[in-house]
């Protein structure tokens, strides 16, 4: 077992999704960022969370709004639960809105959403999210 983030970058296309095999990505709740860096216009991103990553990503592949998206970043952790991934998803959306580097395709969860308390919320906010945000900055996604 590991007590760290597991981050996988994949091409966002049908054949690529079958290679998602890491246990903390395939069998636990995950957060994901669909993105495309288009040099001619502002990059596009979609942030989500799910407990069935392959099924959810296939749904996105069939969505016409996601056709221009070429990459998916999958974020897992052995301690992720649905409350944690929902919280991290909301925090990412808020940070991406503030960062303005990407045009978000989803803006349904903004600062108006009050996140409920849950077990170890402080750990996810102060340790896990901080580590994730720093990694996104290293990858030039934030």
The beta strand positions in the chain, using DSSP E, are: 6-11, 30-36, 44-50, 71-76, 103-104
Residue 24 CB-density burial (10 A; 0-12 exposed, 13-18 middle, 19+ buried): buried
Least Cα distance to 129 among 105, 98, 94 occurs for 94
The whole-number average pLDDT for the span 15-40 is 82
Q: Could you tell me the pTM of the whole model?
A: 0.91
CATH (domain of 71): 3.40.1440.10
Q: Which residues pair with 74 in a beta bridge?
A: 8, 32
Q: How many domains does the chain have?
A: 1
Domain that holds residue 116: 6-127
Neighbours of 12 (CB within 10 A): 21
The answer as to whether 140 is a domain residue is no
pLDDT, tens digit (0-9, with 9 covering 90-100), for 82-129: 999 999 999 999 999 999 999 999 866 555 556 678 899 999 999 999
Confidence band, pLDDT 50/70/90 cuts, at residue 1: very low
């Amino acid at each position: 077992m590991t007590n760290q983030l597991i981050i996988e970058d994949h091409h966002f296309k049908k054949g690529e999704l079958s290679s998602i095999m890491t246990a903390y990505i395939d069998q636990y709740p995950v957060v994901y960022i669909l993105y495309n860096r288009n040099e001619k216009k502002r990059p596009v991103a979609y942030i989500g969370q799910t407990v069935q990553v392959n099924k959810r990503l296939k749904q996105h592949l069939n969505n016409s709004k996601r056709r221009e998206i070429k990459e998916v970043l999958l974020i897992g952790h052995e301690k992720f639960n649905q409350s944690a991934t929902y919280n991290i998803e909301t925090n990412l959306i808020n940070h991406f809105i503030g960062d303005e580097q990407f045009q978000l395709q989803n803006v349904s969860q903004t600062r108006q959403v009050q996140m409920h308390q849950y077990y170890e919320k402080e750990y996810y906010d102060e340790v896990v999210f901080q580590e994730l945000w720093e990694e996104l900055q290293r990858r030039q996604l934030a």
